[in-house]
């Protein structure tokens, strides 16, 4: 792993227009001025409750939903301002693995064509070479040669995710966006797929932007973790630092609320202070957006938004009282 960042995201904003009943237009800011970087070969995880902006941020950084404003530098090149056609080169180096493998696989194509599809899109190799590469990739994710001629509906969820992973690896990407890649799978299959991703990370060396809600999984898979709340990163640190010494009250509540590994139970009193619903993203609270739920909130929190600042080397948090 080198120190040169593979991707540098700065002040990224993603807004969605919305029409209310009665015709009034409003804007929902799903990602609100987010900055982060990913180094080569590194895994950065995004965590937070549903609706915190994790998936929107990943899709904006991957240019699947072009950002409203901000900068995304990938392999030294600004891609946020590129037109669709000019993005093809960057897209080749970034791949996605989605939560629902069935929805992301074309049901009419055999596995050989699905895995080789990225090679065909980028006109790499002839048909026989692409099939040979599809076989190699299929075997590297634990599928068999005879699986190449079968169709997605003939596989279990775990096997379908293996197909999706093989397809994501076809172009030897530098960065893989993995959006909850195991959360739709049975618990027994989840660890198999995570072990596979870990092995492939060792073998092929891609960086990951990994979205997860299971903090036990995130803790063991990620090098660094960024905690999102209402479209912003509120804390970011190396994985062990964040899980051992979280500084932001929201991160602390999130970790305390996570079922303990191997026990399936929440810590007593977890999320007590943060149990109220997330405020509407159409009408975010002034000041610190977490203040209506925060057990530590003071008057300043209601008026002044805290900046994301270093609390120690490599550890940032956005709270007036860290």
Query: In this structure, are residues 202 and 280 in contact, taking their beta carbons and an 8 Å threshold?
Result: no
Query: In this structure, are residues 42 and 74 in contact, taking their beta carbons and an 8 Å threshold?
Result: no
CA distance 112 to 167: 10
Residue 254 touching ligand SF4 (CB under 6 A): no
CA distance 208 to 222: 8
Region of 25-33, 76-84, 132-140, 286-294 interacting with ligand SF4 (CB under 6 A): 286-294
Q: Name which position in 101, 115, 290, 308 contacts ligand SF4 (CB under 6 A).
A: 290
CA distance 259 to 245: 17
174 token code pair = 């530098």
User: In this structure, what are the phi and psi dihedrals at residue 248, rounded to the nearest 5 degrees?
Assistant: -85, 135
Query: Which residue has tokens 């090149």?
Result: 77
Cα separation values, 49 from 12, 58, 118, Å: 20, 15, 32
Residue 238 touching ligand SF4 (CB under 6 A): no
Q: Name which position in 46, 291, 308, 316 contacts ligand SF4 (CB under 6 A).
A: 291
Minimum Å distance from CB 229 to ligand SF4? Answer: 9
Region of 17-25, 49-57, 163-171, 294-302 interacting with ligand SF4 (CB under 6 A): 294-302
Residue with Cβ nearer ligand SF4 (143 or 251): 251
Residue with Cβ nearer ligand SF4 (138 or 225): 225
Residue with Cβ nearer ligand SF4 (230 or 301): 301
Residue with Cβ nearer ligand SF4 (47 or 297): 297
Distance of CA 140 to the CA centre of its chain: 23
Chain residues that interact with ligand SF4, rule: CB under 6 A: 248-249, 288, 290-291, 294, 296-297, 301, 306, 319-321
């Amino acid at each position: 792993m080198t120190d040169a960042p593979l991707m540098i995201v700065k002040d990224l904003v993603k807004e969605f227009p919305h029409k209310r009943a009665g015709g009034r237009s409003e804007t929902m800011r799903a990602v609100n001025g987010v900055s982060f970087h990913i180094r080569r070969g590194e895994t950065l995880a995004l965590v937070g409750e549903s609706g915190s902006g994790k998936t929107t941020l990943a899709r904006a950084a991957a240019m699947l939903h072009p950002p409203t404003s901000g900068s995304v530098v990938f392999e030294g090149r600004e891609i946020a301002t590129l037109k669709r056609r000019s993005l093809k080169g960057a897209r080749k180096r970034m791949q996605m693995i989605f939560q629902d493998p069935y929805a992301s696989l074309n049901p009419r194509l055999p596995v050989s064509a699905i895995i080789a599809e990225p090679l065909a899109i980028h006109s790499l190799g002839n048909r026989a070479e692409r099939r040979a590469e599809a076989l190699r990739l299929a075997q590297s994710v634990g599928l068999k040669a005879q699986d190449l001629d079968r169709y997605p509906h003939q596989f279990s969820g775990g096997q379908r995710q293996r197909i999706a992973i093989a397809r994501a690896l076809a172009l030897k990407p530098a960065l893989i966006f993995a959006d909850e890649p195991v959360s739709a799978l049975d618990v027994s299959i989840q660890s198999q797929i995570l072990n596979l991703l870990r092995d492939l990370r060792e073998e092929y060396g891609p960086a990951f932007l990994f979205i997860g809600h299971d903090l036990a999984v995130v803790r063991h898979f990620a090098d660094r973790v960024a905690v999102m709340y209402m479209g912003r990163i509120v804390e970011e640190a190396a994985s062990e630092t964040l899980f051992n010494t979280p500084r932001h009250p929201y991160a602390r509540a999130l970790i305390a609320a996570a079922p303990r590994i191997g026990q399936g139970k929440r810590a007593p009193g977890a999320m007590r202070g943060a149990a109220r619903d997330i405020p509407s993203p159409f009408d975010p609270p002034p000041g610190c957006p977490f203040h209506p739920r925060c057990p530590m909130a003071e008057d300043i929190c209601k008026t002044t938004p805290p900046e994301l600042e270093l609390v120690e080397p490599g550890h940032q948090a956005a709270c007036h009282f860290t």
